Structure 1
Amino acid sequence: MTAVTQQSVLDSVPKGLFIAGEWRDSSDGSTLAVDDPATGEILTHVADATVEDGRAALDAAVAAQPAWARTAPRDRGELLRAAYEQIVERADEFAMLMTLEMGKPLAESRAEVAYGAEFFRWFSEEAVRVHGRYGVAPNGATRLLTMKQPVGPTLMITPWNFPLAMGTRKIGPAIAAGCTMVVKPAGQTPLTMLALADLLDGLGLPKGVLNVVTTAHGRTGAVMEPMIRDPRLRKLTFTGSTPVGQKLIEQAAEGILRVSMELGGNAPFLVFDDADLERAVDGAMLAKMRNMGEACTAANRFYVHESIATEFSERLAQRMGALRLGRGTEDGVDVGPLVDEKSRDKVKALVDDAVAKGARVVVGGNARDGAGWFFEPTVLADVPVEADLSEEEIFGPVAPVTTFRTDEEAVRLANHTRFGLVAYLFTKDLTRAISTAEALEYGMVGVNQGIVSNPAAPFGGVKSSGVGREGGFEGIEEYLETKYVGLAL
């Protein structure tokens, strides 16, 4: 096997737009720079799509939809299975690519490759399990047939924090259901999606089924909005911030599009007085430090019973303080840079605000000087509920700890947010675990574990954290319409 190097991986990725099965330049020849967040230097350039390019991509998806919908489910499933195997075989290439453009350490990138590939394996098995039903009307005169059919052309907008997995968990069910797609990856991390499109093309995915358009931040709205408002588009799926999701839903309302939105989070992490403290700290490290805290599922607010809060904070600080910062491609690095300067500065502002309002820095608390967008793993104790980071998604390696006295207070603090993606709780009491999980206003709850994401489970939130589910048996339903046929005898 050829050794995987930074340059060989960058050279292997197509840099154009993928439309109707062909790689092409932007219609006006413009490009956007892809930066290395560990150094601030430019890695490479990719095509910067225009409105005309977006229209061409949707044209291709619309043209391919009828034939793709008629494709045998087994064929669609076998293609996904082959893609899963290819991704696993090329795990080192995808991992290196993600680390270069996003910043996470190679170990985390490899974990994302394994996670992202699993969506293709899961939905390869779901492709042949799309069911309708047959029934007899109550009066006996009519037969009731219910069938499932693909929604149709879908626009997918994916974020920068999980460049592979956020794509595969949308593309997987769409392929399985028989939907064509236009994918718009984040401008900071387009390379992984371009590599994935190239892989699928090499496996024989029909032309026009998957189309990829890359755009710079300043052009994204102008290119996406005409597609969203085009009456031929039938579904919009987006993963990203709540404000952007709200705007996209407004645009989608014109065409009454099916939408699935995975939006912001403000995850509480509850540690009750009977919790296994070591297990809770292990869970906190996973829930907080996965992806440097740049995850919608990241624990954002730590509510710890007052009797164990000091010991929990000290143990967590010891673990956080031992982590090594650096470029993700270097050996022994635990924590990479944040994705850009704006993100780093936001984390610093939130920490400074909390300290000004009475929080105590147990470890960390500073941005690192020099090249790249690094922030120290940080634990804050005695964080007041009025601190900005109690309301805002941190998206960085900061764990703010607040105490509680009663179970009711813990639940009240946890639910005091407009978000409702995921919550975590640690207790040895099964009754407490179930009653608390039922009381938490979240789409997902992790009990005595710091990671809930699983391709076989429905991922999604309530309230301002979104609508719809990805993964699990529910994931493919987002790409299917239900048709009822009444048959008179």
Structure 2
Amino acid sequence: MTVAQQHLKTPLTHNIDLSACSRGLYIGGEWRTSEGDRKIPVVDPSTEVVLAHVSDASIGDGVAAVDAAAKAAAGWRETAPRKRSEILRRCFELMIERSEMLATLISMENGKALRDARGEVAYAAEFFRWNSEEAVRIAGQFGTAPSGTNRIIVDYQPIGICVLITPWNFPAAMATRKIAPALAAGCTVVLKPASETPLTAYALAAIYEEAGVPAGVVNVVTTSTPGPVTAAMLGDPRVRKLSFTGSTGVGRTLLAEAAKSVLSCSMELGGNAPLIVFDDADLKTALDGAMVAKMRNAGEACTAANRLYVQAGIHDAFAAGLVKRMSALSVGDGVDPKTECGPMITRKAVDKIERLVANAVQGGAKVMSGGTRPEGKGFFYPPTVLSGVSQQSEMAHEEIFGPVAPIRSFSSEDEVVALANDTEYGLAAYVFTKDLTRGMRVAGKLEAGMVALNRGLVSDPAAPFGGVKQSGLGREGGSHGILEFMEAKYIAASF
């Protein structure tokens, strides 16, 4: 028996029926094959074994999904907020009940360490609980016009049919972060998950159905030709919203496509997060935070610390501590409970990391640990620490999306703020200091939509998630998230 075969028969995975996650496209509450019955292989990044094949949607299939969403729109829009709330709450409960199955499935198709996958499921489920509470608290406004001639009434209404496009790095959380507020607002949706990790999306679709989500309210289509299929859906006049999470490059293309129909767009795009450690920071707190900010999901996150700026006085101690921690991480198969750093999503992703590291070294950086891709099966790259990384290196301006921590020393507050803001991105940033006044001052100067102060985790379903500059438009999560799926209607009334 090969290692790959052993992997597929481990106790952690033998209870998962992968055929149940690959029954076809989910349209109008039914599982159907794509036109021509085309298929997309789903590969385990740990072993390079094909786990399953999912349906490959055509343009016609995409339009059929919009048809189903349109047919269900009026009924869902008119469903009482309390009823919608109860259904969303049941989605949360079922996800928690099935959390181990979902986490294992994520680890299999995404490769991420099981501990990270468990964290993702808990985070993903929370969007349903939070938005189940938001669904019954959608409030309008009522007041008198300053002129006294009429009353001003503002009513919030569902924006309409939404196309949701999600990436492979968080196959559960990126879907629920969009689906939950859309459903709470009274919208119907078509989800297009990444073709690298579609099994989780289909497993969740079955959970939504079991929770009582009516047929056609959530539709899921996978395709190997996302450009034409997405363009057809966005060009349909019944579609009124696009919510996308992914790279800035693809985001620009989608914004141009959405402009043709003047669609409302929420865009959560790329990041280049700086992590700043001042001399007065608590060393253990800074190292703890850096490990979370850098190594959550093996660095394959848009919020991952991409540039580590450490003040000169603490630089050497921080670098030595980070090398010790990164070198101690267990690298291996995602579903192995002992694994702390799983594989990258594809061989192409490893090639990119290797290129960025080589470029940094050519620019004068020193490899303090890791830095050499291993031989054998799986898309692995070791946890790596680089010191002396130039601001002119490619990785200072491009997302690494992997387990590489590039460190650069700095002297003053003004210097590091300028370095941190020297990027087209502005999603997340991290600051470590015992001086709260300085921490708040620096947080205010950083060009980022989110700042974590003395902690390595910034995401929370109860808080607005999003960036500035070319990291995106709009916010997800918190009370802001549901408003992205609503339109404000103003009524001027005289009584």
Output the TM-score relative to the length of structure 2: 0.97
Aligned positions of 1:112-127 closer than 5 A? 112-127=120-135
C-alpha displacement at 1:207, in angstroms?
1.1
Structure 2 unaligned residues grouped into runs of 5+: 1-10
Letter of the 2:234 partner, please give it: I
Letter of the 1:365 partner, please give it: G
C-alpha displacement at 1:7, in angstroms?
5.8
Distance 1:179 1:331 in 2: 39
Residues 409-462 of structure 1, C-alpha deviations (whole Å, 9 max, x = no match): 010000000000000000000110111000000000000000000000000000
Aligned positions of 1:182-261 closer than 5 A? 182-216=190-224, 219-261=225-267
Partner of 1:23: 31
State the secondary structure of the residue aligned to 1:116: helix
Partner of 1:154: 162
Matched, 1:111 2:98: no
Distance 1:153 1:142 in 2: 33
State the secondary structure of the residue aligned to 1:420: coil
Partner of 1:338: 344
C-alpha displacement at 1:4, in angstroms?
5.5
Selected match of 1:300 from 284, 303, 306: 306
Letter of the 1:141 partner, please give it: T
Divergent runs of 4+, >6 A: none
Distance 2:357 2:17 in 1: 37
State the secondary structure of the residue aligned to 2:313: coil
Aligned positions of 1:342-353 closer than 5 A? 342-353=348-359
State the secondary structure of the residue aligned to 2:230: helix
Which of 306-315 and 180-189 deviates more? 306-315
Matched, 1:65 2:102: no
State the secondary structure of the residue aligned to 2:37: coil
Distance 1:10 1:137 in 2: 59
State the secondary structure of the residue aligned to 1:464: helix
Partner of 2:281: 275
Partner of 2:449: 443
Question: Is 1:6–1:96's contact at 8 Å kept on the other side of the alignment?
Answer: no
C-alpha displacement at 1:67, in angstroms?
1.5
Matched, 1:44 2:52: yes
Which of 418-427 and 7-16 deviates more? 7-16
Letter of the 1:299 partner, please give it: A
Distance 1:114 1:8 in 2: 19
Partner of 2:385: 379
Matched residue count:
485
C-alpha displacement at 1:187, in angstroms?
0.4
Question: Is 1:9–1:97's contact at 8 Å kept on the other side of the alignment?
Answer: no
Distance 1:422 1:464 in 2: 12
Letter of the 2:228 partner, please give it: A
C-alpha displacement at 1:20, in angstroms?
0.8
Question: Is 1:14–1:198's contact at 8 Å kept on the other side of the alignment?
Answer: no
Question: Is 2:92–2:128's contact at 8 Å kept on the other side of the alignment?
Answer: yes
Partner of 1:102: 110
Distance 1:138 1:331 in 2: 63
State the secondary structure of the residue aligned to 2:351: helix
Partner of 1:392: 398
Partner of 1:416: 422
C-alpha displacement at 1:141, in angstroms?
2.6
Distance 2:206 2:179 in 1: 14
RMSD across aligned C-alpha pairs, in angstroms? 0.9
Letter of the 2:446 partner, please give it: L
Selected match of 2:90 from 63, 82, 101: 82
Matched, 1:178 2:186: yes
Matched, 1:469 2:475: yes
C-alpha displacement at 1:5, in angstroms?
2.7
Structure 1 unaligned residues grouped into runs of 5+: none
State the secondary structure of the residue aligned to 2:330: coil
